[in-house]
Amino acid sequence: LNPLLEAQPTTIFTVMSALARQHEAINLGQGFPDTEGPHDMVQKAADALLDGQNQYAPLTGLPELRQAVAESNARFQGLNINPDSEVIVTSGATEALAASLMALLEPGDEVVLIEPLYDTYLPIIRQLGAEPRLVRLQQPDWTLPQDALAKAFSARTKAMVLNSPMNPTGKVFTRDELTFIASLLRHYNAYAVCDEVYEHLTFGAPHISLMTLPDMRERCIRIGSAGKSFSLTGWKVGYITAPAPLAGVIAKAHQNLVFATAPNLQRAVAFGLRKDTTYFATLAADMAHKRDILSEGLRSVGLEVLPCHGSYFVMADIAPLAAGKDDVAFAHQLTIEAGVATIPASAFYDSSNGTPPRHLLRFAFCKQEHILREAIARIAAWA
């Protein structure tokens, strides 16, 4: 059997969701909204099934969805994208990430990543025989240490993975930070896999795609997810925007992994991407409000909340309540005794890069307001 996969633990999201169910805890762990996405999209998907959208879709995606992805790139990022040669529809951003890394990496290549990081990047990179070079953001403000980042690059660097807006920190990279990253990519002639699934979930300064910076158009693979942009995480529809030569190779990986994605969902996502700007602004404003409710609540029970400018997630320092317990022990205790599930932040760090922080929990705020308030009330009653 494959030793890397054999040794890999079950994802923390599944572990904490199972614990939450077992103890009837409110699940602020796994990042999924607890309300339905837009009804008109669900209706479109249902109509498309009855309309006969039930056989294989084209390999790179339905033309109408590729067109909608290209239009969305133009509307929100000012990018001029060819829908026929530069867009690939995938089964979620998860598949998009795997296909992109497969397209880029050969054994011995190095990949620069920023910690804390989403849990699928490293196993795939290692499976491909490539070597991660990890750079840790500094707390409490999630500062990017530029010297360390520059040192992580070398002549063997093939790519960097950049997640902005970022899970689990809620960091949104600034233009200055992106400019610095772009200078390194240019200098080392490297690519960037840009995980932008939270592109529409920023709570202040808008998200900037690295792909829009000078010389980055040919180096960046930009990944989006209908799950996050439309609160439909179960649909697993993702999309890649990449320069044609790269997109052609990514399409081969996609061909080997899944070949095609459910056509009725693709039709509905094409419809969703064409929603007016108010839809996207409201999505972000609603989520910012939820962030505020949860953050204020966490502060009211004595936790220190770290800055969050985007995504579904905020990190909190548990020291005041944890009585010396580490994040994993405290997350279990909070689930079982207080009835609130979270994710211990050490799960987003790799032990190869030194001891992970043990004093942080990630809280998901993509939940209904009364659920967030109930979670805070439970923690207050328990603390």
Rule CB under 6 A: say whether 13 interacts with ligand GLN: yes
Is the Cα torsion angle 297, 298, 303, 307 positive or negative in sign? negative
The one-letter amino acid code at 103 reads: A
Hunting for tokens 């233009």 — which residue is that?
175
* Residue 11 interaction partner, one of ligand PMP, ligand GLN, none, beta carbon < 5-8 Å per kind: ligand GLN
CA atoms within 13 A on the CB side of 3: 1
Rule CB under 6 A: say whether 165 interacts with ligand PMP: no
In the complex, what is the shortest distance from the CB of residue 341 to ligand GLN, in angstroms, rounded to a whole number?
A: 11
Rule CB under 6 A: say whether 94 interacts with ligand PMP: yes
Q: Which of 133, 136, 207, 236 binds ligand PMP (CB under 6 A)?
A: 236
Q: Which of 29, 31, 33, 356 binds ligand PMP (CB under 6 A)?
A: 31
Rule CB under 6 A: say whether 93 interacts with ligand PMP: yes
d(CA 107, CA 154): 15
Rule CB under 6 A: say whether 31 interacts with ligand GLN: yes
Binding characters for ligand PMP, 329-348, by CB under 6 A (x = yes): --------------------
Rule CB under 6 A: say whether 33 interacts with ligand GLN: no
In the complex, what is the shortest distance from the CB of residue 63 to ligand GLN, in angstroms, rounded to a whole number?
A: 29
Quick one: tokens of 168? 């689990």
Rule CB under 6 A: say whether 30 interacts with ligand GLN: yes
Within a 10 A sphere around the Cβ of 366, how many other Cβ atoms?
24
* Residue 30 interaction partner, one of ligand PMP, ligand GLN, none, beta carbon < 5-8 Å per kind: ligand GLN
* Residue 195 interaction partner, one of ligand PMP, ligand GLN, none, beta carbon < 5-8 Å per kind: ligand PMP
Q: Which stretch binds ligand PMP (CB under 6 A): 52-60, 80-88, 139-147, 230-238?
A: 230-238
**DSSP-assigned letters across all residues of 197-246:** TTTT-BSSSPP--GGGSTT-TTTEEEEEEHHHHTT-GGG--EEEE--HHH
Rule CB under 6 A: say whether 98 interacts with ligand PMP: no
Q: Which of 37, 170, 227, 243 binds ligand PMP (CB under 6 A)?
A: 227
Contacts of ligand GLN in 153-172 (CB under 6 A): 167
Instruction: List phi, psi (to 5°) of 194.
Output: -100, 105
Residues 6+ apart with CB under 8 A from 39: none
* Residue 13 interaction partner, one of ligand GLN, ligand PMP, none, beta carbon < 5-8 Å per kind: ligand GLN
CB 182, CB 216: distance < 8 Å: yes
Which is nearest to 360 in space by CA: 373, 349, 374, 371? 349
Q: Tell me the sheet residues that pair with 192.
A: 160, 220
Rule CB under 6 A: say whether 11 interacts with ligand GLN: yes
Q: Which of 53, 60, 72, 163 binds ligand PMP (CB under 6 A)?
A: 163
Is the Cα torsion angle 362, 365, 371, 372 positive or negative in sign? positive
* Residue 160 interaction partner, one of ligand GLN, ligand PMP, none, beta carbon < 5-8 Å per kind: none
**Phi-psi sector, 19: left (phi>0), alpha (psi -120 to 50), beta:** alpha
Q: Which stretch binds ligand PMP (CB under 6 A): 70-78, 92-100, 276-284, 339-347?
A: 92-100
CA atoms within 13 A on the CB side of 91: 16
The one-letter amino acid code at 17 reads: S
CB 260, CB 55: distance < 8 Å: no
In the complex, what is the shortest distance from the CB of residue 92 to ligand PMP, in angstroms, rounded to a whole number?
A: 3
User: Helix or strand or coil: residue 186?
Assistant: helix
Interacting residues with ligand PMP (CB under 6 A): 31, 92-94, 118, 163, 167, 195, 197, 225, 227, 233, 236, 238
Could you list the residues that contact ligand GLN (CB under 6 A)? Answer: 11, 13, 30-31, 167
